[in-house]
Chains A and B, each alone.
Chain A
C-alpha cells in the first residue's frame, strides 16, 4: 500500500475535500497540521516548494491543492 501524507490547516476547505475523497476511496493517510507543527511546515515547504495547503505526498510524489485527477492517478483510483 502506498504511503500517503497530507499536510493541512484546521480551517482549509480543500484539505477537508481531499480527506473526504480519501475516505470515499478507503485511502489511509497520515495527517500533519502545519499550523501547529513547525517541523511539518518546513517539511511541506521543502517537498512542495510552496506554502499553500493541502499538500499530499504519495510515496514521494507531491500534489498541491485538491487535484482529484492527479490524486486518482497516483492512487490508481478509477
Chain B
C-alpha cells in the first residue's frame, strides 16, 4: 500500500496534521519516535483553547484518539532514512519501508544542552532536562534551573510545589514568560530566586552534582550549592532527515517553509518546532495550527500529484 501522507513526528504538530489528513480522507500514517513530543512533557497546559487545564500527555492522547477515530494509523518508531523518487517517498522505520506521496516533517526539536564537561556524566545524577518528570524527586531540596523562557518559569513554579528553593539562572537581562506565569512566580516570594545575567560555567561533582560555578558571584560567591540542576535553555530543530532530501533551511537552521507550510521540495511540508514560522513563539496551539495548514497543503498537492506516485514507486516502470 502507498500512503497518501506520512507524518513524521507524533507531537501537537504531527497529530494536528493527522486529524486534518484523516478528515480529508487521506490514508495517513504517523511515525513518531517519542509519543507526544514537547506537549506531553509540558505538565499542566492552561492555554490550549477549550481546556481550563489539561495534562500535556492527556491532551496528546486525546489528539491521537481523535486521529485514530479518523482511521489514521500510528507507529512508534524512529525514521532512519527517506528516499525520494520524483514525487514519491520511501520512508524507512523499524526495518520496514513505507511508501507515500506526501510527507510532513513534524519532527520537533531536541533539548539544548549546556555542553559543559561533566554534564553527560552527571545526567540523572543531579543534572536533568525534564522538570515535570524529575523536579518532584527533589522534594525538600534545593535546585537550580537554567533558562529564562516561559518553559523554565513554568518549570520553576511546578518544582516549587515540591522543593525548598529554586534558583533560576538566566543569561539575559530579564525573564521572558507569559505574564500569568510571571505572576505565579512572584506570588511564591523568595522561594524562587532569579539570578539575572548569570550563566552556569561549570558543573561540579563526582558521583553526583554538588555545586555550580557561576559566571557572576551571587551573595559574594561564584559557587552555588544545589542538589539538582534542570536545563531549560531551548531546543535545536531536528533537520537531518529533511537535509538528506535537500530541503532548504532558513538562516537560523530551521526547516524553511512558506505561509502554507510548503518546503522547497514538492510533496514535502513541515510544521511545529522544527520550523520558525512564528519565531520563538512555540506553543501547542501554534504547532497544531501549523500541522492543520501543512495537512491542507499536502491534501491540495495530492489532488494534483496523487496519480503519479504508483508510476515512480515501481522502478521497472519508471525506467521504461
Interface residues of A (CB under 8 A from B): 9-17, 34-36, 38, 41, 49-53, 64, 68
Which of B21-29, B99-107, B125-133, B232-240 makes up part of the contact surface? B125-133
Tell me if B188 is interfacial: C-beta within 8 Å of chain A.
no
Asked if B134 CB lies within 8 Å of chain A CBs, one says yes
Chain A residues with CB under 8 Å of B56's CB are 13
Q: Is the interface of A mostly helix, strand, loop or mixed?
A: loop
B57→A9 contact, CB < 8 A: no
Shortest Cβ gap from A46 to chain B (Å): 13
Give the shortest distance, in Å, between A40 (CB) and chain B (any CB). Answer: 10
A11 contact from B125, B133, B140, Cβ within 8 A:
B133
In the bound assembly, the distance between CA atoms of A15 and B136 in angstroms comes to: 13
For A38, list chain B residues within 8 Å (CB).
Answer: 139-140
Q: A9-B134, A14-B133, A17-B35 are in contact. List 20 more A-B contacts (CB 8 A).
A: A9-B135, A11-B43, A11-B55, A11-B133, A11-B135, A11-B136, A13-B40, A13-B56, A15-B133, A34-B137, A35-B162, A38-B139, A50-B124, A50-B125, A51-B124, A51-B128, A52-B123, A52-B130, A52-B134, A68-B76
**Interface residue B291 (Cβ < 8 Å from any Cβ of A):** no
Interface residues on B, range: 20 to 34
Least distance between A43 CB and chain B CB atoms (Å): 12
A contact residues around B228 at 8 Å (CB): 51
Q: Which residues of B contact A34 (CB under 8 A)?
A: 136-137, 139
Q: How far is the CB of A52 from chain B (nearest CB, A)?
A: 4
Would you list which residues of chain B between 46 and 94 have a CB under 8 Å from chain A?
55-57, 76
Q: Pick the contact of B57 from A16, A49, A51, A53 — CB < 8 Å?
A: A16
Contact B136 A10 (CB under 8 A): yes
Would you call A52 and B124 a contact (CB within 8 A)? yes
Main secondary structure of the interface of B (DSSP, over half): mixed
Task: Find out whether the CB atom of B132 lies under 8 angstroms from the CB atom of A13.
Answer: yes
Query: Cβ of B136 and Cβ of A9 under 8 Å apart?
Result: yes
Contacts of A11 in B (CB 8 A): 43, 55, 132-133, 135-136, 158
B120: Cβ under 8 A from any A Cβ: no
Contacts of B135 in A (CB 8 A): 9, 11
Q: Are B133 and A51 in contact (CB under 8 A)?
A: no
B147 at interface, CB cutoff 8 A? no
Give A52 to B128 CA distance when docked, in angstroms.
8
A15 to B41, CA, bound (A): 11
Task: Kindly provide the distance from the CB of A25 to the nearest chain B CB, expressed in whole angstroms.
Answer: 14
B36 proximal to A (CB < 8 A): yes
Q: A35-B139, A41-B139, A51-B228 are in contact. Are A13 and B133 (CB under 8 A)?
A: yes
Give the residues in chain B near A41, CB-CB below 8 Å. 137, 139
Interface centre among A36, A38, A52 (most CB of B within 10 A): A52
How long is the Cα–Cα vector from A17 to B130 in the complex, in angstroms?
Answer: 15
Cα of A10 to Cα of B132 in the assembled complex, Å: 9
Bound form: Cα–Cα A35–B158 in Å: 12
